Structure 1
Amino acid sequence: MTAATAEATTDDSHGYSARHLSVLEGLEAVRKRPGMYIGSTDSRGLAHCLWEIVDNCVDEALAGYCSHINVVLHADGSFEVGDNGRGIPVDIHPKTKLSGVELVMTRLHAGGKFGGVSYTASGGLHGVGASVVNALSARLDVEVDSNGATHAISFRRGLPGEFAEAGRPNARFKKRSGVHQVRKVARTTTGTRVRFWPDMQIFLKGATVDQAQVLDRMRQTAFLIPGLTIDVRDERGEEVLEETFRFDGGISEFCTYLAKDAELVDVLRIQGRGHFTETVPVLDDQGHLVPTDVERDLEVDVALRWGSGYDTITKSFVNVIATPKGGTHVRGFDRALIRVINDQLRATKLLKNGDEDVIKDDVLEGLTAVVTVRLPEPQFEGQTKEVLGTSAAARIVSQVVGRELKAIFDNPSRGRKQPLRAVLEKIVGAAKTRIAARTQRDNQRRKNALENSALPAKLVDCRTTDDRSELFIVEGDSALGTAKLARDSEFQALLPIRGKILNVQKASVADMLKNAECAAIIQVIGAGSGRTFDLDSARYGRIILMADADVDGSHIRCLLLTLMYRYMHPMLEAGRVFAAVPPLHRIELIKPRKGQDKYVYCYSDAELRKKLVEFERRGMRWKEPVQRYKGLGEMDADQLAETTMDPRHRILRRIRIEDAEDAAKIFDLLMGSEVAPRREFITAGAAELDIERIDT
C-alpha cells in the first residue's frame, strides 16, 4: 500500500473514522447491553438480578458468618434481601478512595471473592453481580450494620447519591459519594440489607418474579446449607405469604424431597475432598498479570437413592449455585457411577461373561441424585453459571464417588445389603429391557428393508413428502371413513387408532413397543422413539390429533400426548404437534340473508350463546334444536373438511412445552402410577366444574 493510498483510507470519505467509535465506561456498558450480564430483560433476567443479591448473602453463609437470610417481595415491585453476615465493608478502599460498599456497587469486577482470603468458596466469582443489579435499578438502597452503627447509601441507575424521600424510586435525587450513618446499633449486630427497584426502562413491560420460583430457589438453598434459616415474604398479592425454610439434614433431605417414587434403598451419602493445581493470572506489584500456580481444595458431597420408578432426577451445584446444564463435576459423577455399578454386577455374577456392560441410561433409571462441589474460584461458562468448566472437578469427583460408593457396596451397613442387591437387579432389568427393545427395533428395521409394505395397512397415506404433509391421528374407524372423503389427499394422511392406546407414563419401553397402536404411530412417523428419535427423519411436517369433542376424546388426546412427550419429545419442542378443534354446535339458519352462510359453526358453549343472542337481536331465525356434535362420525365429509381439516377454515391448537419441569409434573400427576395425588387433584377440581356442561 502506498502512502497516498494509506492517507485516502484514513479520511472521512467512506463515513467511518475514529470519531465513530464509542467507548462505554463503568456501568454504562451494562445498561447498553444488559443481556450480556443477566441473559435477558424479561422475567428471567429480573429473577437473575434477585438471585445475584441473594447469592451474596448465601456466600456469607457458606463462609460461616451468616445464619439467617430474609427475602421480601414488596407490593411496589421492589425486592429486599437481608442477612446477618459480616456486612459489606464501609471503610475507605486505599486505592480508589471509595467506601467498600460504594466500590462493590459501582465497579465491575470488584469484590472480596477473587483472592481466596475473604471467601474460600462462593457462587459469585465474576464480581459483576451487585454492580450489574445496581446499574439496572431505578433505585437501590443499601444498609450495612457494622461497628455499632447502621451505614446507608443509595444509588440511582448506578450513581451514588441521596433521595429526598424513602421508598420512592422517582423521588428527587442528588448525586453524592460516600456512606452516612443513620442510627446506632449494638456492636454485636452485623449484616447487610439491599433493596432495589428494577428500572422499567430496561426490563420488558410485565416482567415479574414468580412466587413459586422464589420459594423453590430458597427451599433449595436451605437444603444445600444445613442450619441456614431463610424467611420469604411476598406482599404482592391480596394475601401476604410468609414461608420459612430450614433443613438440618442437608442434601440427604433434599434427595428425599426430590424423589417421587418408592425407595429401593435409603439415601446414600458420599463425601470426600481432593486437591489440584490451577494456573491463574495474578497481578504482581507492578500491576502485570503473571501466570501463577495456585493450590486448590475441592470438597465433594453427593446424595443418591434409587427408587422403583423409571424417571431420573439429577441436581448439581457448585458452591450452592445450581448448574442445570451440568459440567465437569457431573461428568465425573456419571463416570464413577457407571464404573462401580458394572464392577459390582460382575462381582455378584448378575452380569455373566459375555454380557455387555450396562450403560448410563440403565444406571440412571429411577435414580435421584444431588451432586455438590465446593471450591474457590470455579470456572463457569458464562455469567449465568449454568455449566461448570473446571477440568480438575471431573477427576476428583470421579475418584471420591468411585472410592466411597465401592465401599458402600463392599461393606454395606446393617439392613442395606438386600436393598443394594435390589438396586443392582433393577439396573440389570433395565439393561435387558433396553437390549430387548433394541433387538425389536433392529428386527423391525431389517423387515422394513426387505418388505415394501412396511407401513401399517390401515394408514391412508398422502402423495407429498415435503414440509406441508400432515398426519391426522383419527379416533375410530367411523371417523376415518368421513375423514377420507374430507381430506386433501395431496398432503393429508390418516392413521386410525382403535380406542384408547396404552398409558406409557406407567409402562415400560418393552410394553410400549408391544402395544400395536403405539408401535403403529412410531412406525408411521418414521423417526424412531426415545433417545434415538431423529426429528429430521419424520415423514410428516405436522402431527394432528383429531378426536371427538367429548370426555373420551379428551382422554385419548391426553394418552397420545403422553406418548409424544415420553418418546417423541423433539416433535413437541419443535411445535409440530397439534390438536384439531372440531365444532361443538351447528346452527341452521332459516332463510339466511344474501351472502350469508346457511350453517354457522360454534366451537364452545359460550360462543353458541353469543351467536344466538346476536341472531335474535338481528331478527334472524334458526332451526330448533341446535345440532350438538358428540363425535366426528356425525359430520358429513363436507362439514368435517370445512370445519376441521381445510387449512383455510380450520382451527388448530399447537401443543407447546413452555416449562419442561412443570410439564413433567403434570404428566406424572395425571398419567403416573401414583393414584393418591391424582385423586386429590380430581376432588379439588370437582367443585369448580359446571354441572350443566356434563352430557347426560
Structure 2
Amino acid sequence: MTIKGKPAAEGRDYEARHLLVLEGLEAVRKRPAMYIGSTDTRGLMHCMWEIIDNCVDEALGGFGDRITVALNADGSIAVDDVARGIPVDIEPRTGLSGVEVVFTKLHAGGKFGAGSYNATGGLHGVGASVVNALSSRLDVEVDRNGATWAMSFRRGVPGSFAGDGPDAPFTPGAALTKVGRVARGRTGTRVRYWPDRQIFLPDAQLSWSSLVARARQTSFLVPGLELALTDQRASEHVTEVFKHDGGISEFCDFLAGDAPVTDVLRLQGTDTFTETVPMLDADGAMTPTDVDRTLEVDIALRWGAGYDSTVQSFVNIIATPKGGTHVQGFERGTVRAFAKALEGTRLLKAGDEIVKDDILEGMTGVVTVRLAEPQFEGQTKEVLGTPPVTRLVAKVVERELGEFLTSNRAAQRPQARAVMEKVVSASRTRVAARAHKENQRRKNALESSSLPAKLADCRSTDNERSELFIVEGDSAMGTAKLARNSEFQALLPIRGKILNVQRASVGDMLKNAECASIIQVVGAGSGRTFELEQARYGKVIFMADADSDGAHIRTLLATLFFKYMRPLVEAGRVFTAVPPLHRFELSSPRKGQDKYLYTYSEAEYQRKLAELTKRGVSFKEPQRYKGLGEMDADQLKETTMDPRHRTLRRITVEEGESLELAMATFEKLMGNDVAPRKEFIVAGAYALDAERIDA
C-alpha cells in the first residue's frame, strides 16, 4: 500500500502490548519535571523544600519548635526535626509501615484527612515519595514509641546498604527496622538523602543563599520556630540560625527598605465558605460532597516614601510567588477601600480614578491565608486556585483597611491622610506617564515629527543594526556627526549631567528635559509600560569623556535605564563606549606600521611607553585626551565609533541574585539614604592611590 507515491510506514501496529505501564515511582523518574518543575538547580532546591516543608507543617500544627538542615560535604542533605515523627505502625490497606507508605506511595500521607493537619502546604501527598524516587539513596530514622526506627531506599526501592554513601552495595527488600531505644517521650524524624545525578543536570547545585532566604522567611511566618542551617561543603563550615517571634509584622519591616509613611498595619479576619469536593463513599465511588471550610486571613502592610512595591504571599506558609486568588482578593479589597475612603475627601478630583498600581506604589505587604486543602495549580504550588478565597480576602481587607483610612484616632489619622495623598499623587503621575508614553511610539514620533530637534537620526529602520549614541556635550556632538556612519548610527546630545532618577519621583523624571528626550527617542515607553519590541534602536551606547565627570554621567544614564527601561538592559542592548586616554604619534613609522597608537588605561599606557622605548621607536610627546572634543573626526571614528575597531562594554544584569544585588547597589550609591553611601565612599578612600590623582 502506498500513499501519494510513498511506501507505507513500517511499525504501524498499535496493540495493548505496546502500552507502557509505569509502576510505583517509575513515573516520577520518567517525567521528573512534572513533579518538581525542572531538573536544574530550581528542581534540586524544590526537593529540599519538600522535606523541609514537611517538618514546618508539623511545627505549624504545634508539634516541635526546631528544625536543622545540613548540606554535607558528600553531597547529601540532612533534615531533622523534633516533632511527632512519621508513624511506624502498619497501614492496614497496604500492609506497609507508615514510613514506607510515606516514602514510596504517591498521593499518600497524613494531609488528606481531617485528623492530623488543619492547615498545611503539602496537599498532594507526593513530596517525600518524589524526593525518594529522585534520590540515589535516602535514609530515614524515626524516634517514636520509645525506639528508633530506620529504613533506607535506593531510587525509591526499599533495601539496605552495606556501607556509607549511595555507591555502597545495596540489597533490595528490607523493611522498617528497630535500631535502638530512646526515651519514651522523645519523638522526631531524621531524613538524609543524596540527589540522583542521573536525573539532575550536571550544573545543578544547591544554593546556600536561597536556603538562607527561605529559612529566614519561614521563621517569620511561624513565630517561635527555630531553624538551624549548616553548610559543610567548604573547608570552613557556615552556620545560620533563625528565630523570630514578631511574625509577619516583623517580616514586613524586614522587607521594607524605605522611610515609613505608615506604621505596619495588621489586617486580620476569619470567614467560612462551602466547597464541593469529590469524596469516596462506602461503595468506593466518588461522590460530590459539600464541605465547610474556614479561611484565616492575616496581612501585614505598610507604605513607605519610595516608589517600588513588594508584596509576598503565602498559603499555609508555602510561598506563592505567582500569586493566586488570595492576592487577587487583597488587591481588589485595597482598591475598594481606597475608593470609598477618598469619596468623602477633596483629594480626588472629578474624573480621577484610583487603580491597583497607584496603591501598590511604595507598599510593602505580606499576605498570608490558612485553610484546609487549598487548591494549588501544580505540585510546585506557585499559584493558589481556590475560587472563594478571592471574595473572602477582599471582604476582610476592605473592612479592616477602610477602618484605618477613615479612622479619627490621633495616631492613625495623619498616617491615613499621608498614604491617601501618596496614592492620589501616584494616580496623577500615572496619567501623565500614560500621556507621555503615547507620544513615544516610533510610528507616532515619525508621523508627528515630535522627536527632539537635536536628535541626529540614522536612515536605517533595521533595529538589529541601528545604534543610538547618547553623547556628552555639544562639542563632542559636532565631532561625532562627522565620525558616524549616518546609515545606521544616530546621535543624541545631552547637556551635562541628567537628573538622578533614583532619588526623584516619576513625575520629576518626566519633567526633566534630558530624561524625557532619551525616553522619547528610545521610543518604547518607561517603567511598567516599557515594551522592548517598540525600541527604535538595536543598541544604545553611552559616549562620555574618560574622566570623573564622564563616569558620573554614565552612572546617571545607567540609573535611568535600569530603573525605567530595565528590559533593554536585561536584553544586553545597552553599552558604554570606550574612548582612548592617550595617543602616541610615531615620528618615522615603518611600512605597514600605524602612525598613531592608542591606549585605553594608565596601565596600558605605561606598558606601551616602555615597549616603544625599549624598541628604540621614536615618537612625539604622548597626547592625553581630556575629552571627546579633543579628537578629530577620523580619530573618534577609528577608536570609538567604527564597529570594526571600537571596544564596547555591555551593561546587563540577570534574573535572581545578581538582579537583587544590582537593585541594592543602585539604591546604596544613588538613593535617598546618605549614610550607607558615605560609609561606602569613606571605605573606598583608604584603597585609593593618592599618586594617581591628577591634580
Change (3 A) 1:527 1:446: closer
- Cα distance in 1, alignment partners of residues 678 and 514 from structure 2: 28
1:476 corresponding residue in structure 2 = 473
2:573 corresponding residue in structure 1 = 576
Q: In the alignment, residue 232 of structure 1 is paired with which amino acid? A: L
Q: Quick one: which of 286, 290, 293 aligns to 1:293?
A: 290
Change (3 A) 1:463 1:221: same
- Cα distance in 1, alignment partners of residues 514 and 15 from structure 2: 68
- Structure 2's unaligned 5+ residue stretches are none
- Cα distance in 2, alignment partners of residues 225 and 678 from structure 1: 35
Q: Does residue 548 of structure 1 match 2:520?
A: no
Instruction: Tell me the CA shift for residue 436 of structure 1.
Output: 4.4
Instruction: Tell me the CA shift for residue 12 of structure 1.
Output: 4.2
Structure 1 residues 401-416: aligned runs within 5 Å:
401-411=397-407, 413=409, 415-416=411-412
Instruction: Tell me the CA shift for residue 345 of structure 1.
Output: 1.4
Q: Does residue 466 of structure 1 match 2:448?
A: no
Q: In the alignment, residue 354 of structure 2 is paired with which amino acid? A: V
Per-residue CA deviations over 1:356-413 (Å, capped at 9, x if unaligned) read 2322222222211111001112122222222111111100100111122223334455
2:131 corresponding residue in structure 1 = 133
- Cα distance in 2, alignment partners of residues 375 and 35 from structure 1: 27
Per-residue CA deviations over 1:518-554 (Å, capped at 9, x if unaligned) read 0110111122222232333222222222233333333
- Cα distance in 2, alignment partners of residues 235 and 691 from structure 1: 42
2:671 corresponding residue in structure 1 = 672
Contact 2:437–2:526 under 8 Å retained in 1: no
* Superposition TM-score, scaled by structure 1 size: 0.90
2:660 corresponding residue in structure 1 = 661
Q: Does residue 522 of structure 1 match 2:548?
A: no
- Cα distance in 1, alignment partners of residues 678 and 242 from structure 2: 28
Contact 2:437–2:529 under 8 Å retained in 1: no
Greater Cα offset, 422-431 or 279-288: 279-288
Greater Cα offset, 245-254 or 360-369: 360-369
2:306 corresponding residue in structure 1 = 309
- Cα distance in 1, alignment partners of residues 370 and 281 from structure 2: 27
- Cα distance in 2, alignment partners of residues 171 and 694 from structure 1: 63
2:256 corresponding residue in structure 1 = 259
Q: Quick one: which of 422, 426, 432 aligns to 1:430?
A: 426
Q: In the alignment, residue 503 of structure 1 is paired with which amino acid? A: N
Q: Quick one: which of 172, 185, 188 aligns to 1:188?
A: 185
Q: In the alignment, residue 295 of structure 1 is paired with which amino acid? A: D
Structure 1 residues 365-514: aligned runs within 5 Å:
365-411=361-407, 413=409, 415-438=411-434, 452-467=448-463, 468-514=465-511
- Cα distance in 2, alignment partners of residues 91 and 236 from structure 1: 36
- Cα distance in 2, alignment partners of residues 53 and 601 from structure 1: 60
Instruction: Tell me the CA shift for residue 58 of structure 1.
Output: 1.0
- Cα distance in 1, alignment partners of residues 71 and 622 from structure 2: 52
Contact 1:589–1:620 under 8 Å retained in 2: no
Q: Report SS of the residue matched to 1:255.
A: helix
Q: In the alignment, residue 653 of structure 1 is paired with which amino acid? A: R
Q: Report SS of the residue matched to 1:504.
A: coil
Q: Quick one: which of 190, 200, 213 aligns to 2:197?
A: 200
Q: In the alignment, residue 681 of structure 2 is paired with which amino acid? A: I
Q: In the alignment, residue 370 of structure 1 is paired with which amino acid? A: V
Q: In the alignment, residue 215 of structure 1 is paired with which amino acid? A: V
Q: Quick one: which of 120, 123, 143 aligns to 2:141?
A: 143
Change (3 A) 1:460 1:194: same
1:227 corresponding residue in structure 2 = 224
Change (3 A) 1:249 1:640: same
1:633 corresponding residue in structure 2 = 629
Instruction: Tell me the CA shift for residue 608 of structure 1.
Output: 6.4
Q: Report SS of the residue matched to 1:505.
A: coil
- Cα distance in 1, alignment partners of residues 273 and 8 from structure 2: 51
Greater Cα offset, 52-61 or 414-423: 414-423
Q: In the alignment, residue 129 of structure 1 is paired with which amino acid? A: G
Instruction: Tell me the CA shift for residue 97 of structure 1.
Output: 2.3
Q: Report SS of the residue matched to 2:460.
A: coil
Per-residue CA deviations over 1:438-487 (Å, capped at 9, x if unaligned) read 55667899997898542112111100112221111122223323322332
Structure 1 residues 68-217: aligned runs within 5 Å:
68-166=66-164, 168-217=165-214
Change (3 A) 1:540 1:216: same
Q: In the alignment, residue 357 of structure 1 is paired with which amino acid? A: E
Change (3 A) 1:694 1:665: same
Change (3 A) 1:127 1:446: closer
Q: Report SS of the residue matched to 2:90.
A: coil
Change (3 A) 1:534 1:376: same
Change (3 A) 1:693 1:276: farther
- Cα distance in 2, alignment partners of residues 129 and 496 from structure 1: 58
Change (3 A) 1:623 1:199: farther
Q: In the alignment, residue 43 of structure 2 is paired with which amino acid? A: G
Instruction: Tell me the CA shift for residue 77 of structure 1.
Output: 2.9
- Cα distance in 1, alignment partners of residues 500 and 626 from structure 2: 24
Instruction: Tell me the CA shift for residue 60 of structure 1.
Output: 0.8
- Cα distance in 1, alignment partners of residues 605 and 18 from structure 2: 62
- Cα distance in 2, alignment partners of residues 213 and 75 from structure 1: 18
Q: Report SS of the residue matched to 1:496.
A: strand
Change (3 A) 1:169 1:446: closer
Structure 1 residues 20-31: aligned runs within 5 Å:
22-31=20-29
Change (3 A) 1:31 1:650: farther
Q: In the alignment, residue 29 of structure 2 is paired with which amino acid? A: R
Contact 1:10–1:17 under 8 Å retained in 2: no
- Cα distance in 1, alignment partners of residues 471 and 233 from structure 2: 46
Change (3 A) 1:119 1:574: same
1:357 corresponding residue in structure 2 = 353
Instruction: Tell me the CA shift for residue 221 of structure 1.
Output: 0.6
Change (3 A) 1:103 1:650: farther
- Cα distance in 1, alignment partners of residues 489 and 605 from structure 2: 30
Give the CA RMSD over aligned residues: 3.3
* Superposition TM-score, scaled by structure 2 size: 0.90
Q: Quick one: which of 311, 320, 325 aligns to 1:323?
A: 320
Aligned length: 689
Instruction: Tell me the CA shift for residue 272 of structure 1.
Output: 0.9
- Cα distance in 2, alignment partners of residues 237 and 120 from structure 1: 40
- Cα distance in 2, alignment partners of residues 692 and 181 from structure 1: 73
Instruction: Tell me the CA shift for residue 316 of structure 1.
Output: 0.8
Greater Cα offset, 437-446 or 485-494: 437-446
Q: Report SS of the residue matched to 1:506.
A: coil
Contact 1:578–1:653 under 8 Å retained in 2: yes
Change (3 A) 1:116 1:626: farther
- Cα distance in 2, alignment partners of residues 477 and 191 from structure 1: 73
- Cα distance in 1, alignment partners of residues 684 and 218 from structure 2: 32
Q: Report SS of the residue matched to 1:40.
A: coil
Q: Report SS of the residue matched to 2:416.
A: helix
Contact 1:11–1:17 under 8 Å retained in 2: no
Per-residue CA deviations over 1:1-21 (Å, capped at 9, x if unaligned) read xx999xxx9994558776665
Per-residue CA deviations over 1:569-621 (Å, capped at 9, x if unaligned) read 3322333323334445556678778766565655556666777898899x685
Per-residue CA deviations over 1:295-348 (Å, capped at 9, x if unaligned) read 211110001112222221111111111111211111111111111112111223
Q: In the alignment, residue 407 of structure 1 is paired with which amino acid? A: E
Instruction: Tell me the CA shift for residue 629 of structure 1.
Output: 4.9
Instruction: Tell me the CA shift for residue 261 of structure 1.
Output: 1.8
- Structure 1's unaligned 5+ residue stretches are none
Q: Does residue 276 of structure 1 match 2:273?
A: yes
